[in-house]
Amino acid sequence: MERDFAGRVALVTGASGGIGRATAQMFAARGAKVAVVDVKDAEGAETVDLIRRAGGEAFYMRVDVSDEAAVRAMVEKTVATYGGLNHAVNNAGILGQFMPLHMIETSKFDQIIAVNLRGVFLGMKYQIAHMLEHGGGTIVNVSSAAGLHAQPNLAAYSASKHGVLGLTRTAGVEYAAKGIRINSVHPGGVITPMTTAIFASMSEEARKAAQEVPDQHPLGRSAQPEEQAAVICFLSSDAASNVVAAAFSVDGGLTQV
C-alpha cells in the first residue's frame, strides 16, 4: 500500500469498530500516526493492537464526542502526542431504535442529536481551530444515505445526518481558501457492529421478515467497512486536492433509485 500519509497525523472518532476501525487501520497502513477515539475502551485498545501488529503507530483515547471539554482535550492530546493534526474523521455515531416519529422519546432524540450532530460540530470546532494555525488539513464527516433522503422510522437519526451535511457544506465553503478541505461521506448499508446489533435486537420473526426483503442497494449487497475507509482516505489524501464541501455517496447506488 502506498505510504502517502507518512509524516502525517490522523484522528478518527468512533474507531473501536466498524467504519472507524477500518479507517484508522487504513490511515496507519498508509503511514499516518493515528489517534483512535471512542467510548468502548476494550475495542479501542484492540484497534490500536491491530494497527501496531501490522507495523503502524496509534494510541487510544476515551472521548465522548458530545462532551465539549473532552473534545477540546482530544485535539490537544493528539497534538501533544504526535506533534500535530493533519486529518480528522468525525465518524462516531448512534442509530436509535426503529419507530415512527411520534413514538420517539424526546430524551432519545436529544441523545442522538448530541452524539451525531453536536459531536461533529464540536469535533470540527477544535480540529479547525488547530488546522487554521498550523497549515491546514482535511476533515471528513461520516453522515449517511439517511442524511440525503428519507429514512422512515429513523427520524432523529436522519435529522442528525442531514445536519452533518449542512455543517459539512457550510464549513467546507468557509474554510476552503484557508487550506482546510472538508467533505462528507454518505454510506448506505454497511456490515458493522451497528447493523449487526439491529438484527440481534429483532425478534426471530422480524429478523426472518427483514431477511426476505430484497436488498435495496442497486449493487445488490451492503458494503464492507473497508469500502467506506477507502473513500474516506481518498477524500483525506492529496489525490482529492480539488474536492471541497462535497457529499460523497458510498451506497451502492441506494440514493439514486
Ligand X SMILES: NC(=O)c1ccc[n+]([C@@H]2O[C@H](COP(=O)([O-])OP(=O)(O)OC[C@H]3O[C@@H](n4cnc5c(N)ncnc54)[C@H](O)[C@@H]3O)[C@@H](O)[C@H]2O)c1
Q: Which of 5, 9, 11, 14 binds ligand X (CB under 6 A)?
A: 14
Instruction: Find all residues with CB under 8 Å of 226, minimum gap 6, and list them.
Output: 22, 26
Nearest-approach distance from CB 195 to ligand X, in angstroms: 5
Is residue 144 involved in binding ligand X (CB under 6 A)? yes
Q: State the nearest-atom distance from the C-beta of 50 to ligand X, in Å.
A: 14
Q: DSSP label at 243?
A: -
Cell of 100: 415512527
Nearer to ligand X, 189 or 252 (CB): 189
Q: Is residue 96 involved in binding ligand X (CB under 6 A)?
A: no
Helix, strand, or coil here: 31?
Answer: coil
Cell output for 162: 442531514
- Among 17, 56, 163, 172, contact with ligand X (rule: CB under 6 A): 17
Q: Tell me the residue length of the chain.
A: 257
Least distance (Å) between residue 216 CB and ligand X: 12
For the chain, the first-to-last Cα distance in angstroms comes to 34
Residue 157 falls in the annotated catalytic set: yes
* Distance of alpha carbon 187 from alpha carbon 222, whole angstroms: 10
Q: How far apart are CA 84 and CA 105, in angstroms?
A: 41
Of residues 2 and 49, the one with the C-beta less far from ligand X: 49
By CB under 6 A, which span of 100-108, 166-174, 185-193, 201-209 interacts with ligand X? 185-193
Name residues contacting ligand X, limited to 211-250 (CB under 6 A).
Answer: none
Would you put residue 153 in left (φ > 0), alpha (ψ -120 to 50) or beta? Answer: left
Footprint of ligand X (CB under 6 A): 13-14, 16-20, 38-40, 63-66, 91-94, 115, 142, 144, 187, 189-190, 192-195
Active site residues: 157
